[in-house]
Amino acid sequence: MLPSLQQNYQKTQDQLLFDVQRHLTQLLNTRQGSLSYLPDYGLPDLQEIYQTLPRSIGRLIQAIERVICKYEPRIKKITVLSHAVQHTEHVIELDLALQLVSKESLFLKTQFMSNGLAEVTAAV
């Protein structure tokens, strides 16, 4: 591949990964029922999940997998792993291993804060 084509390809791939990460941030920070035209877009109320931790972590993981599979068509496969929380401002920490339809892999860390917001960042 010519250097200029390779650079353009890399920029396109980087933009794709950024766009998926940005959409997942939006998706995981939206609560079901917030959009009248897509009532199941987003996650259920996290307060119920927070109140019954650690038993409810499986329900949250299932909800994340379901909503990502339904509303992010660029993702072919998702694996969600939970971790013990080590920071007091985080209630739940999850790792998302994603395989995109375009064959790229994307690894994200998702931290759910006590206020219910999710922070989605590239895993290091």
Task: Return the SS3 of 36.
Answer: coil
Confidence of residue 21 (pLDDT cuts 50, 70, 90): very high
C-alpha 108: how far from chain center = 7
Full-model pTM: 0.86
- Given this model, what pLDDT does residue 51 score? 87
How do residues 36-86 score in pLDDT, each as one tens digit?
999 999 999 998 888 888 889 999 999 999 999 999 999 999 999 998 765
Provide CB contacts within 8 A for 78, sequence distance 6+.
64, 65, 68, 69, 96, 97, 98, 99
Which structural domain, as residue segments, surrounds residue 68?
A: 3-122
| CATH number of the CATH domain containing 68 | 3.10.450.40
Structure tokens at 89: 């401002």
Give the residue-averaged pLDDT of 9-13.
71
Residues 6 or more apart in contact with residue 12 via CB below 8 angstroms: none
